[in-house]
C-alpha cells in the first residue's frame, strides 16, 4: 500500500508541474521567446488620382491612397477616401498631390489664382457686402451670376430731342426727361462664372475718442450693409469690360449658382424696369391722389 501511495503522489506532482509549465507557455502566447509585434512605421494618406480643378466635388474615382512614413503625415490629413467624398475642392490639385484640410479651405486658394485660370480668361476682383454678396458666403470654386442694377438718373440721364427753335450750332437741343421716368433697371449681365478666390477685410481698427475715452471700431472694409468681401472672378475680356462698367456707373450683385449648372448654357433674361413690372407682372403702379384743399 505504501508503494502504491507513493506512486500516486509522484504522478500527482508530475501533473502539477506539467500544468504549471502550460500556464507559463500560454502566458507567453503559446511559445517561448515570442516578442511583441513592432510598431507600424507607415500610414495611409489620400492623394489625387488625377488633376482636380477648383470647384470640383470629390468622387471616388478622383482620389486614391498611398503609404508614407508616419512622421511625414500632416496632422489632420485623411487616411481614407471616404473622408473626402462629396467635399468641394477650393484650390487646384494635381495628380499625386496629397489631400489635406487646406484643399477644402478658402484661404488656400489665393496662392494659386493663376493656376485656376483657363486660357483666354482674366481675373478681376469685385467688392460685395452681405446683401449684394449672398451674406459673404461665396467661396472659391463656386459659380455666380453678375447682376447689374442702375437707378442713378444723374449718371445715366434719359433725354429727348428739344424744340427746333432751341437748337444751336453745335447740334440739336436735348432735354432731360428723367423727372417723368423711373430710371431703375436690373439685368443679369454675366452668367455662370468661376470664383477663383475670396478675401475678407481685416478686423476693424480701434481708435480712441478725442478726449481719450473708450475706443470705438472704425469701419475698415465695411459697407452700409455690413461685412464686405472681395471676390475674384474668372472672366473673358468682354466680360471684364461689362463688370468694370458696372462697378463705375452702376451697382453690382453676385448670385450663387447651383454646382449642377457648371456646364449649363446661359439663360436668356429680359431685364426688369418698372414698365415691365406693370405690363408683364401685374404690378399696380402708384396713382396720383387728388384731395380737396380746406
Tell me whether residue 80 is in a domain.
yes
- Cα separation, 196 vs 138, whole angstroms: 10
**Which set of grid coordinates corresponds to residue 109?**
486658394
Tell me whether residue 152 is in a domain.
yes
CA dihedral 76, 78, 83, 88 (to 10 degrees): 80
**Residues 53 and 195: beta-carbon distance below 8 Å:** no
Strand pairing partners for 124? 233
pLDDT tens-digit map of 101-151: 888 887 655 666 777 788 899 999 999 988 888 888 898 999 999 999 988
In the chain, the number of structural domains is 2
Residue 260 shares a structural domain with residue 152: yes
**Residues 207 and 216: beta-carbon distance below 8 Å:** yes
Residue 99 shares a structural domain with residue 232: no
Confidence band (pLDDT; 50, 70, 90) for 243?
Answer: very high
Residue 235 shares a structural domain with residue 129: yes
pLDDT tens-digit map of 188-210: 999 999 999 888 776 665 555 44
Domain, as residue range, for 224: 114-163+171-207+216-281
At which of 104, 122, 146 does a domain end? Answer: 104
At which of 85, 104, 123 does a domain end? Answer: 104
Tell me whether residue 18 is in a domain.
no
Tell me whether residue 157 is in a domain.
yes
Residue 96 shares a structural domain with residue 185: no
**Residues 77 and 92: beta-carbon distance below 8 Å:** no
Tell me whether residue 286 is in a domain.
no
Residue 237 shares a structural domain with residue 120: yes
Residue 157 shares a structural domain with residue 119: yes
Residue 238 shares a structural domain with residue 266: yes
Does the pLDDT of residue 219 top 50, yes or no? no
Residue 191 shares a structural domain with residue 245: yes
Of 69, 67, 72, 61, the residue nearest 46 (C-alpha) = 67
Residue 119 shares a structural domain with residue 95: no
At which of 71, 104, 137 does a domain end? Answer: 104
- Provide the mean pLDDT of the chain: 80
How many angstroms from the chain centroid is the CA of residue 270?
29
Strand pairing partners for 77? none
Assign residue 67 the CATH number of its domain.
3.90.1210.10
**Which set of grid coordinates corresponds to residue 102?**
487646406
pLDDT on residue 118: 86
Tell me whether residue 11 is in a domain.
no
Residue 84 shares a structural domain with residue 149: no
pLDDT tens-digit map of 16-70: 777 776 766 666 654 555 566 777 888 899 999 999 988 899 999 999 999 988 8
Residue 235 shares a structural domain with residue 133: yes
Of 239, 258, 47, 45, the residue nearest 143 (C-alpha) = 258
Neighbours of 110 (CB within 10 A): 14
- Cα separation, 196 vs 125, whole angstroms: 10
Is this structure's pTM higher than 0.75?
no
Tell me whether residue 294 is in a domain.
no
Amino acid at each position: 500500500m505504501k508503494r502504491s501511495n507513493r506512486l500516486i503522489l509522484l504522478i500527482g506532482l508530475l501533473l502539477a508541474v506539467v500544468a504549471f509549465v502550460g500556464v507559463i507557455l500560454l502566458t507567453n502566447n503559446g511559445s517561448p521567446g515570442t516578442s511583441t509585434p513592432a510598431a507600424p512605421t507607415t500610414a495611409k494618406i489620400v492623394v489625387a488620382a488625377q488633376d482636380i480643378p477648383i470647384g470640383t466635388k470629390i468622387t471616388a474615382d478622383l482620389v486614391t491612397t498611398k503609404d508614407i512614413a508616419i512622421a511625414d503625415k500632416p496632422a489632420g490629413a485623411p487616411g481614407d477616401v471616404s473622408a473626402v467624398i462629396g467635399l468641394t475642392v477650393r484650390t487646384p490639385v494635381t495628380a499625386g498631390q496629397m489631400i489635406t484640410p487646406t484643399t477644402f479651405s478658402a484661404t488656400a486658394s489665393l496662392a494659386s489664382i493663376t493656376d485656376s485660370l483657363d486660357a483666354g480668361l482674366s481675373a478681376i476682383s469685385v467688392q460685395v457686402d452681405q446683401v449684394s454678396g449672398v451674406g459673404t458666403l461665396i467661396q472659391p470654386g463656386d459659380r455666380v451670376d453678375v447682376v447689374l442694377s442702375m437707378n442713378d438718373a444723374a449718371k445715366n440721364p434719359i433725354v429727348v430731342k428739344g424744340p427746333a427753335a432751341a437748337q444751336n450750332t453745335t447740334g440739336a437741343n436735348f432735354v432731360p426727361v428723367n423727372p417723368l421716368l423711373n430710371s431703375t433697371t436690373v439685368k443679369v449681365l454675366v452668367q455662370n462664372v468661376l470664383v477663383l478666390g475670396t478675401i475678407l477685410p481685416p478686423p476693424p481698427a480701434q481708435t480712441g475718442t478725442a478726449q481719450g475715452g473708450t475706443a470705438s471700431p472704425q469701419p475698415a472694409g465695411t459697407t452700409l450693409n455690413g461685412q464686405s468681401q472681395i471676390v475674384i472672378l474668372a472672366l473673358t475680356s468682354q466680360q471684364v469690360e461689362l463688370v468694370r462698367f458696372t462697378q463705375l456707373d452702376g451697382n453690382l450683385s453676385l448670385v450663387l449658382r447651383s454646382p449642377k449648372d457648371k456646364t449649363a448654357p446661359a439663360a436668356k433674361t429680359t431685364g426688369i424696369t418698372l414698365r415691365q413690372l406693370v405690363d408683364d407682372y401685374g404690378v399696380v403702379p402708384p396713382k396720383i391722389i387728388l384731395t380737396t384743399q380746406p
